[in-house]
Amino acid sequence: MTRVLSVASECAPLVKTGGLADVVGALPAALAPEGVEMRVLLPGYPAVMAAMEDGIVLTFDPLMGGVGRLLRGRVAGVELYVLDAPHLYDRGGSVYLSPEGRDWADNPERFAALCYAAAAIADGEAGDWRPDIVHAHDWQGGLVPEFLDQRGLRGRVGTVLTIHNIAFHGYAPPERAGAMWLRPEGFTPEGYEFWGQISALKAGLAMSDRLTTVSPTYAAELMTGAFGMGFEGLLRARRGDLTGILNGIDEAVWNPATDPAIAAYDTPKGKAKAKAALRVEMDLPQAEGPLCVVVSRLTEQKGLDLLLEALPVLTRRGGQLALLGSGDPGLESAFRDRAASEANVAVRIGYDEALSHRLIAGGDAILVPSRFEPCGLTQLYGLRYGTVPVVALTGGLADTIVNASPAGLAARAATGLQFHPVAREPLEAALDRLCDLFADRQMFTLLQKNAMKHPVGWQQSARAYAALYRDLLSH
């Protein structure tokens, strides 16, 4: 049995701002059949603390400005360690942002403390269970190797860093190193220094034994200037340590045959009730074209500004859009305005997990026009529910969708539509193509059936992670 400590800033169903939480929450159960015992270390946000019942296993006094306690318990089937540090985590707002929408000023210390706690667990301070490997996620876990090194554990405890989104670096000015309990001698290009700043992500990229990201295409993209965000040189140098492993989804949670949020179905024909109910809920009229859905953060990364520009092509063909999301205030306002002026556009600003299920169940197509997308989960949800994905040809979107090209259709293998480059005109062409396919009911039903048969679970990916862990331990 391989013991792995997963260190993350969020974990579904306890705390979630995006796909990272779903991955962290799903991995322990997915890896168990592969002989991996995974426990998760989380910050003690109010929602997490409310779910915890078990006791304290370690006290940190002091811990970066206050007292911290490490709790252990089992919640929603996941073995958890929770770092209860009220001075760092007991506050309103979101996980990363204040109620005013700005990064918490002490985010560097908040997540440095989490990494320090991970090193303490690896050092046996939390009891008999000690991980063979610490698997950290994004910049919030990037300082794990630094704190292991401080304890002389690098080389004795393996380290893996998964890049879910390289756009976030975990910057801090160098004068914060003391407050973050970092060694001055670590402020080097081989450590946590990046262009004169502290970068928690840089520490993880430079010092972890293995690096993974969430799709093979994104792994290749990260080694280019267009996607590497300044880290492409480092990643090229570590090419042999970088692996792309696709995310999966929880097929019990995302199952159209049993989903409590919808009128259950297990064939494309069964979608009709879900679609009718969704139109009523979103106040959309009957229409001849496809009902398209979006469940997304509203950001330029997600290409939703391009969707606003391309939307007239869809509505002129009798198509509709139902959108759920939040993010950039300008995009929120623009989508609200479009919904107010067009009967075939409906918008809900915010996030509602049950509504996201109803949207994906009731839609004919799900739109994911991202400029970059490390893996993406919503297109996988779409596949599972027979909601045909229309996606940009990038990252995990390229790896998970079989394009409805002439060859893909002739082979009867297509599961969705891809467009490239990521710009308004190619997206317009993809929406036109979607409407053509939707009008051919036999062909569109084939797309839906192919989508619903496409593997989207964790089995293959869990085997890849387990193999990675075995290889790391063998070295």
> What backbone torsions phi and psi does residue 135 show, to the nearest 5 degrees?
-110, 105
Supply 244's token pair.
Answer: 């792309």
- The Cα–Cα gap between 166 and 295 comes to 21
> Residue 402's pLDDT is what?
98
- Distance (Å, whole) CA 417 – CA 405: 8
| Separation CA 122–CA 211 (nearest Å) | 19
Q: Which residues, including other chains, have CB under 8 Å from residue 365's CB and lie 6 or more apart?
A: 290, 291, 292, 293, 382, 387, 388, 389, 390, 434, 438
Where does CATH 3.40.50.2000 sit in the chain? Answer: 2-248+458-474, 268-453
Give the pLDDT of residue 19. 85
Q: Which residues contact 109 (CB under 8 A, 6 or more apart)?
A: 64, 65, 88, 176, 179, 180
Which residues face 244 on adjacent strands?
A: 213
219-to-133, 202, 244 alpha-carbon distances in Å = 22, 16, 5
Cα–Cα distance for residue pair 16/10, rounded to 1 Å: 6
Mean pLDDT value of segment 264-277? 93
Tell me: the pLDDT tens digits for 334-387?
999 999 999 999 999 998 989 999 999 999 999 999 999 999 999 999 999 999
- pLDDT, tens digit, for every residue of 147-159? 999 999 999 999 9
pLDDT of residue 172: 98
User: Helix, strand or coil for residue 163?
Assistant: strand
Rounded mean pLDDT, 91-115: 93
In whole angstroms, give the CA distance from residue 363 to residue 275. 6
Rounded Cα gap, residues 37 and 469, in angstroms: 12
Q: What is the CB-side half-sphere exposure of residue 42 using CA atoms within 13 A? A: 30
Percent of the chain with pLDDT over 90: 94
> Which residues have CB under 8 Å from 126's CB, separation 6+?
57, 58, 70, 72, 81, 120
Write down the architecture of domain 268-453 according to CATH: 3-Layer(aba) Sandwich (3.40)
* Helix or strand holding residue 137 (H, E): strand 133-137
What class has domain 2-248+458-474? Answer: alpha beta
Which residue, among 421, 437, 255, 464, has the nearest Cα to 364 in the 3D structure? 437
Q: For residue 110, what are the contacts with CB-CB under 8 A and spacing of at least 6?
A: 43, 88, 89, 104
Residue 453 labeled ligand binder:
no
pLDDT of residue 54 exceeding 80: no
CA atoms of 455 and 464, how far apart (whole Å): 15
pLDDT confidence of residue 475: 87
Predicted local confidence at residue 189, as pLDDT: 92
